Amino acid sequence: SPDCDPVYETLKGTLAAALKRVPKLVEEAKTRWETSKLNPKCETPLPSQAQPVTTSRPQKAAAPKAQPTMF
């Protein structure tokens, strides 16, 4: 689909020719992302960054072993 990300393009030539194409590809991508925002910026308030209150839990006694170790 033409409106999907990622966009795949092919280029015949050398690695140097492909690397010269990268800046134009980035500009095209930025323009496309600005015109069709599929994932708009989140405007909801962020959660609190305060540390949660810690509570201590009573320690549970270790359960006795049912079978003695042989070795």
Which letter, b or e, does each residue of 41-70 get, where b requires 16 or more Cβ atoms within 10 Å of its Cβ? Answer: eeeeeeeeeeeeeeeeeeeeeeeeeeeeee
| Mean pLDDT calculated for residue range 6-31 | 89
Domain count, the chain: 1
For the cut 90, the answer to whether the pLDDT of residue 55 exceeds it is no
Whether pTM > 0.85 for this model: the answer is no
What is the spatial distance between Cα 29 and Cα 45, in angstroms, rounded to a whole number?
A: 29
For residue 35, being part of any structural domain is answered with: yes
Q: What is the largest CA-CA distance in the chain?
A: 73
What is the spatial distance between Cα 31 and Cα 25, in angstroms, rounded to a whole number?
A: 10
For residue 61, being part of any structural domain is answered with: no
Supply the range of the domain harboring residue 8: 1-40
Scan for tokens 């209150």, then name that residue.
53
| Mean pLDDT calculated for residue range 40-65 | 78
Q: What is the amino acid identity at position 39?
A: N
